[in-house]
Amino acid sequence: MDQSKLKQLTAPLLSWYEQNARKLPWRETPANAYHVWISEIMLQQTRVAAVREYYARFLREFPTLADLARGEERLMKCWEGLGYYSRARNLQKAARQAMERFGGELPRTYEDLTSLPGIGDYTAGAILSIAWGQRVPAVDGNVLRLAARIMDCDEDISDIKVRRRFRSWVEEALPPAERCGDYNQAMMDLGATVCLPNGEPMCLLCPGRDFCAAREAGRQSSLPVKAPKKGRRLEERTVFVLLSSQGAALRRRPETGLLAGLWEFPNVEGALREEEAARVLKCWGIEPLRWEKRIAAKHIFTHVEWHMTGYVLLCQPSGPADFCWSDGRDFADKTVPTAFARFREEALEHLERQEGSE
DNA sequence: GAAGCGTGGGG
DNA sequence: TCCCCAAGCTT
């Protein structure tokens, strides 16, 4: 493995970055550690385009770490639609720990940072290098791809051991501390805009074009090598949009697992026919007044695929104790994940009509 | 070490 | 339509 290629890239990469750095809201000078932290968490497994709006809104709601530590339901609401909701919960846990353990600031060592929930290897490196100018690598998917190509390395980058080795090679290629924030961001920008995944990267624009080992070997588009991921399982579910004079029924999901703690429309396993659905309602102690319509919807998660049959119907506001009958204003406060977006639209449409006619 | 955890955009 | 995936972390 020719890791000297990585070192060779450092200087031209930093020059490239001076001209080609993307303009991003969290790239202020000087960097604010709280802002860097929030942006890095939001960017985990999430595209820049999706993060922009959320980032701006989040900082309006929670301008400082102390504000975040105090936030409650509004925090999850701010995260609604962004996905991987444990990130938001961990953000708040970490903020509270920072208030208690670190005097209300983010700590400035790798050990202390990674001791906070939601901050791992990559995020700690990003905060330390970008906000505090420390000489620490921040190796994400972009950097792994870039490194695999410049070294023409065909080892499986989904293997944790290979990643660790890559990280130590990147560490050796780091510039002096004061340039490490730029270096780490430059690696990611280059990966995101030039050394693209999926097919042919734009090698002519790359500061490593003259010595990239994969390019010399003509292998740039077949690298990096990643283990195939396993498929999704399919789940059938039947979802109820129950509409009463008090609003639509929502309930809280369990505190662990998929979409933990978020609000959902009552639903059961299986693709139920209307008679079977009616039996479920009876079980819940709900008397249907009128069946409005049936809706088919699909939602694809990383590891599960939900095929949903939805029943919209009018009823009395009875049912299990955990049903919460929500009007338009309640919906504005409750975090309902995108998986139920189709049903939320349906509910809101009916609620508006109802409120309009009163 | 592998699996669980969301969503939206692009080829 | 389907598949790939995007600035990972936790258990």
Find the residue closest to B3 using CA and C1' atoms: A303
Give CATH superfamily name and number for A4-222.
Answer: Hypothetical protein; domain 2 (1.10.340.30)
Count helices and strands (H / E) in chain A: 15, 7
Whole-number Å distance between alpha carbons of A294 and A230: 33
Amino acid at A186: A
Cα A235 off chain centre by: 23
* A339 CB closer than 7 A to any strand B atom: yes
Question: Quick one: which of A337, A332, A299, A295 has its CA closest to A313?
Answer: A295
Return the exposure string of A194-220: e unless at least 16 CB atoms fall within 10 Å of the residue's CB, then b: bbeeeeebebeebbbeeebbbbeeeeb
How many angstroms is C1' of C4 away from CA of A141?
A: 14
Residues of chain A with CATH 3.90.79.10: 233-357
How many angstroms is C1' of C7 away from CA of A356?
A: 45
Nearest nucleotide to A139, CA against C1' atoms: C7
Nucleic strand B contact set for A 24-43 (CB, < 7 Å): none
Q: What is the pLDDT of residue A357?
A: 67
How many angstroms is C1' of B10 away from CA of A276?
A: 40
Burial label for A110, CB within 10 Å (0-12, 13-18, 19+), is middle
pLDDT tens, position by position, A60-84: 999 999 999 998 889 999 999 999 9
Low-confidence ranges of chain A (pLDDT < 70): 356-358
Nearest nucleotide to A82, CA against C1' atoms: B7
Find the residue closest to B1 using CA and C1' atoms: A160
Q: What is the pLDDT of residue A111?
A: 97
Q: What is the pLDDT of residue A229?
A: 81
How many angstroms is C1' of B8 away from CA of A267?
A: 24
How many angstroms is C1' of C10 away from CA of A345?
A: 33
Find the residue closest to C3 using CA and C1' atoms: A231
Q: Are A177 and A134 in contact (CB under 8 A)?
A: yes
Among residues A18, A28, A40, A269, the one annotated as catalytic is A40
Judge whether A236 counts as a catalytic residue: no
Q: What is the pLDDT of residue A280?
A: 98
Residues of chain A with CATH 1.10.340.30: 4-222
* Region for A247 from its dihedrals, namely left if φ exceeds 0, alpha if ψ lies in -120 to 50, beta otherwise: left
Q: What is the pLDDT of residue A260?
A: 96
Protein-contacted positions of strand C (CB under 7 Å): 4-10
Protein-contacted positions of strand B (CB under 7 Å): 1-9, 11
Q: Are A158 and A166 in contact (CB under 8 A)?
A: no
Q: What is the pLDDT of residue A20?
A: 95
Q: What is the pLDDT of residue A265?
A: 98
CATH architecture of structural domain A233-357? Alpha-Beta Complex (3.90)
